[in-house]
Chains A and B, each alone.
Chain A
Amino acid sequence: MTEQLREAATAGGDVRLTGIGKTYGAFTAVQPLDLTVPQGSFFALLGASGCGKTTTLRMIAGLEEPTSGTVLIGGQDVTALPPYKRPVNTVFQSYALFPHLDIFENVAFGLRRRGKKDVKKQVEEMLELVELGPYARRKPHQLSGGQQQRVAVARALINHPQVLLLDEPLGALDLKLRRQMQLELKRIQTEVGITFVHVTHDQEEAMTMADTIAVMNGGRVEQLGAPADLYENPGSTFVANFLGQSNLIPAEVTGSADGSLLLSAGGARLAMPKARCATEASSVYLGVRPEKITIAGADSEVAEGRNRITGTVVDSSFIGVSTQYVVRAETGQELAVFEQNMDRDTRLTPGAPVVLHWNPAHSFGLDAAQAIDAGTGEAAA
């Protein structure tokens, strides 16, 4: 089975979207966008609900007609083709298994529609791949959520699609099972080598599985890149806040030296590498991830050359592997700090004066013309 799937994969599974957009009356669900998903990659469309990611996926599947633009799969223009003529298959949100058919017939559905006669061997092999062999004659409702999910994957993969589309396939599972299925899906993808396009609102899920993530917001692709790249070098406040958590400090550029920008924020003098600043503007946000900051009592020594801000602990919560602090900084913001629980400083209780410091190279710069709270979930949509 794996061999046959590999053959299908090498048949060419590039997905190329050019200027594809979708409007419903006056509402724009997806702004015209260009996107190329290279063959054999695990590609994630990540964004909050209503950002246009599912609409984009459905336009690739043919379930939604684009208002503009074209969809190419493996070099073939499929824009005008109905879903049943496209070489793609979808794993639907909450699976959409046929309740009146048993597991075997669910998996065999695609083969039968294309007039394949001898489906028994293929279906059995496929059920073996997803470890559901003994369940062939059960009905979908007799299976657990995780098993149903695997049936949905099997039902799609058995058709050897050039591209597999996954629409929030793990949304209905509990946390533990979700982690397990993430690894399982990743394993299957690596094994069969088919292009996967995966829609999710869960940033951890996207980072765990995908080679490339496109972060979508308001019907546009906000930023595209490898998970680590997006996390370390967010290009907008939305990406900085949506992917993990960021501290954004409004600052003014006061000068530059040795490839570094010198900044002033409130009373503090800060620095960051010029290369890590995404803007030429003089008003910027200096961003730093909570885990990159070191927290210490106000009287501690701070090495020369580190960014340094003083403040007062507002809140601290112990969560096992780390302690999360909220610190009101001298610059006026509340900053989050994650500190690993190696040598816990018991004096760092709410009200304690502290000093925060971090390597300037761990800072990133964003244009201050954007909303500072975009993508936090608190921002007005």
Chain B
Amino acid sequence: MSRIVKWVRAHLVVLAGVLALAYLVLPNLVVLAFSFNKPNGKFNYEWNEFSTDAWTDPCGVADMCGSLSLSLQIAVLATIGATVLGTMVAFALARYRFRGRGGATGLIFLPMAMPEVVMAASLGTLFLNMRIPFGFTTILIAHVMFCLSFVVTAVKARVMSMDPRLEQAAQDLYATPVQTFLKVTLPLAAPGIAAGALLSFALSFDDFIITQFNSGPTTVTFPMFVWGASQRGIPVQVNVIGTAMFLAAVVLTVVGQWVGNRRKAQA
């Protein structure tokens, strides 16, 4: 009896970890399983028959791959825009005292705190009044805006924790301001910038509400396509794309960890 208690005590943390992991991953595994289903009828909710049809012909559904490509384009551009702009804003807020600094900090935080639907509707109204035609540009502007807050928050936290003496040391060792920025400041801030960029990409790729309010008739992003399809029955190919994204993220994380560990072991 006591041996069982001992075993449980020794493995409780592992057990909790496995349970939490299962909670997180199980939905993804269901998506994976149903990507191999051959549904009986329009709805892919009940297991019918194993098939690799969807995997061999992922673009077999009309307009789906077009919407996927649009989503990826917007996500990449929004990530670049938000990361560059957000990094500069973060440095300004973390390093300099200026008029309106407090106000700017609060405003940057606002998009994260505000209900998305409110922001979506007001942005839509703004574009309408400014007579900017809805489409690729308006989606991109909206995405850069809400990604910005996350980049600023991530980079600012990193910059604040950086020892200012490191930059002084660089200057003391003959580095010009530009060299100091490139050789010391930027590499040190890189983890924060990377975190902000990854977050931006994920947020932009799966945003629905804001996109819905600011897109044009021909610009249907992947989440919008899935929403539209769900009214009529979601094609199995959506599960294929979902699974592919999930696996890509897992591979990226594992490779990242592995490279990090190798670097540590080398050093």
Contact = CB atoms under 8 A, between A and B. Distances in A.
Contacts of A142: 267
Contacts of A139: 267
Interface string B90-102: 0000000000000
B175 A113 contact: yes
B163 to A, nearest CB: 6
A344 B266 CA distance: 60
Contacts of A244: none
A119 to B, nearest CB: 13
Interface stretch (B164-172, B214-222, B240-248): B164-172
Contact of B171 (A83, A93, A99, A137): A83
Interface stretch (A23-31, A84-92, A173-181, A290-298): A84-92
A238 B151 CA distance: 53
Contacts, number: 66
Interface residues of A, number: 30
Given A92-B168, A109-B170, A159-B173, A99 B188 contact: yes
Interface residues of B, number: 19
A155 interface: yes
Given A96-B169, A98-B184, A159 B174 contact: yes
Nearest to B184: A98
Contact of B172 (A63, A93, A98, A138): A63
A100 B174 CA distance: 18
Contact of B168 (A63, A85, A113, A156): A63
A84 B267 contact: no
Given A113-B175, A114-B174, A83 B168 contact: yes
Contacts of B260: none
B187 interface: yes
A100 B187 contact: yes
A308 B30 CA distance: 96
B187 A84 contact: no
A110 B173 contact: yes
Nearest to A94: B165
A90 B172 contact: yes
6 contacts: A61-B172, A96-B166, A102-B267, A113-B179, A139-B267, A159-B174
